[in-house]
Amino acid sequence: MDAISKKDLEILRELAKKQVEMAHTPKMDSLRAEWKLHGAFDKNSRPMIRIETGTFSGDVIPQFMSCETQAARKLEWELISNTINHEYFCDDNLVLDYLPVHAQMHFVPFGIDLTVAHPKEESLGHEFVPAIIDLEQDFHKLGKSRFGIDVESSKKWVDYRNEILGDILPSRISPFALYCCLTQAIVHIMKMEDMFTAMFDYPELFHEMMGKLTADYLAHFDMMEQGGILLPTTDECGLAQGSYCFNNELPVSGEGLKTTDIWGYMDSQETSGVSPDMFAEFFAPYYSQISSRYGLFSYGCCEAVDPIWDNFLANVKNLRKVSISPWANEEFMGEKLRNKNIVYMRKPSPNFLGVGKHLDEDAVAAHINATVQAARGCHLEIIQRDVYKINNSTQKVKRFVEIIRQCCDKYVR
């Protein structure tokens, strides 16, 4: 591991002390209790609010950094990220009194290494260079997926960080929620339009492709179980899409856990242009196989889920959170989720924070009030994602959260 200077070490240790102090405040105890109520679908729970900062952290964090050595700056970035929401945005993000480390794993669909092209160096824009163009001609390229677990590397990372900060802010191997997005893997190896036409041109081969990929993911789950790396996902463990795993349905302890004992996540953004009937034919059977291996699961990212609700999601018994993206029919989903133990996980439009120097407060209020009205009687969670620039204004984000809270004060369960 790279060396850290004495000066940088002092900076890191002060940041660690700051995080521990925040984690042990009455405010954090209260916030954790509120997340537990929310996760238990308690009738007295309130809407929970989180801002996912990872996409715009480069617009904020550098101004707070002072370490000089590369290894120190990596840890400094992480430590600042852990407290910035609570300190500057005042959302419902939890500050932990430890540093989580997850078991390092890899999964390479079909054994095909991806080639990614960028229009220019360090550009956000990118394109996956397709390995599969014509499914029939290229089907032989669809090999066995490569996957594995590297527990030792994770343990070494824990030990390294504990040598530096462990007496203040310990690191430990922590739980993780399962993640499987089948169609994302498909469009990483073939263009979306080729995926669409392949369903018409080679329906049997398309099913075979989906079946191969599903079987490989299930084998990967088997490896996790056999490796004994699965831990309870019942508290502040991160769930995809910026949410937490709080619940009172899954095991809170125990060895030899199965994937059916923990949370999982799926989405299918890539099939937004596919009809509900075609989704039911070509994708739902495989997504159902994956979801059956989860204890509980969360579904959806930026795609509208309402088109596939009636013929897929409504029939899945262990669904507990569903994404209501800016493209979803809010009213429809509110009707479907009302009085159900499924979280209405709203993703507001990223344009309010990401576009312009100044916040359009009236537009934000109108946007969130529409959500509050549509989600009445639902268990509401508001998670802001996919913001890449905030014009370096933490105050803009804080005010955004304040407006959301004011709107949620009108929320009726």
Both tokens of 332, joined, read 């429809």
pLDDT of residue 1: 60
Q: For the ranges 44-48, 220-224, 388-392, which has the lowest average pLDDT?
A: 388-392
Which residues make Cβ contacts (< 8 Å) with residue 123, sequence separation at least 6? none
Mean pLDDT for all residues in the chain: 95
Q: Rounded CA gap, 328 and 359, in Å?
A: 23
Q: Which of 57-61, 116-120, 354-358, 381-385 has the highest mean pLDDT?
A: 381-385
Residue % of the chain over a pLDDT of 70: 98
Which residues make Cβ contacts (< 8 Å) with residue 163, sequence separation at least 6? none
Q: Which domains does the chain have, with CATH numbers?
A: 6-408 (3.20.20.210)
What is the β-pairing status of strands 146-150 and 238-239?
unpaired
Please state the rounded mean pLDDT for residues 30-42.
97
Q: What is the pLDDT of residues 290-344, one digit of tens each?
A: 999 999 999 999 999 999 999 999 999 999 999 999 999 999 999 999 999 999 9
- Give this prediction's pTM: 0.95
Which of 386, 396, 385 is closest to 360 using CA atoms? 396
Q: Which secondary-structure segment (H or E) carries 238?
A: strand 238-239
Cα angle for residues 89, 102, 46 (degrees, 5° grid):
40
Please state the rounded mean pLDDT for residues 343-367.
96
Specify the residue for token string 């469009």: 187
User: CA-CA distances (angstroms) from residue 207 to 42, 110, 134, 196, 211?
Assistant: 41, 15, 15, 13, 6
Query: How does residue 126 score in pLDDT terms, banded at 50, 70 and 90?
Result: confident
Q: Rounded CA gap, 154 and 189, in Å?
A: 29
Q: Rounded CA gap, 230 and 264, in Å?
A: 12
Cβ atoms of residues 236 and 210 within 8 Å:
no
Please state the rounded mean pLDDT for residues 76-89.
97
Specify the residue for token string 């537990």: 36
pLDDT of residue 119: 82
pLDDT at 274 over 70: yes
User: What type of residue sits at position 239?
Assistant: L
Higher pLDDT, 266 or 1: 266
Cβ atoms of residues 196 and 274 within 8 Å:
yes
Which of 236, 308, 229, 232 is closest to 266 using CA atoms? 308
pLDDT of residue 391: 86
CA 378 to chain centre: 21
Both tokens of 10, joined, read 């002092």
Which of 300, 232, 243 is closest to 270 using CA atoms? 300
Residue % of the chain over a pLDDT of 90: 92
Count Cα atoms within 13 angstroms, Cβ side, for 296: 23
pLDDT of residue 413: 60
Q: Rounded CA gap, 265 and 323, in Å?
A: 11
Higher pLDDT, 186 or 127: 186
Please state the rounded mean pLDDT for residues 118-144.
90
Which of 109, 308, 136 is closest to 212 using CA atoms? 109
Q: Could you tell me where the DSSP H helices lie in 228-316?
A: 276-282, 284-291
Cβ atoms of residues 382 and 48 within 8 Å:
yes
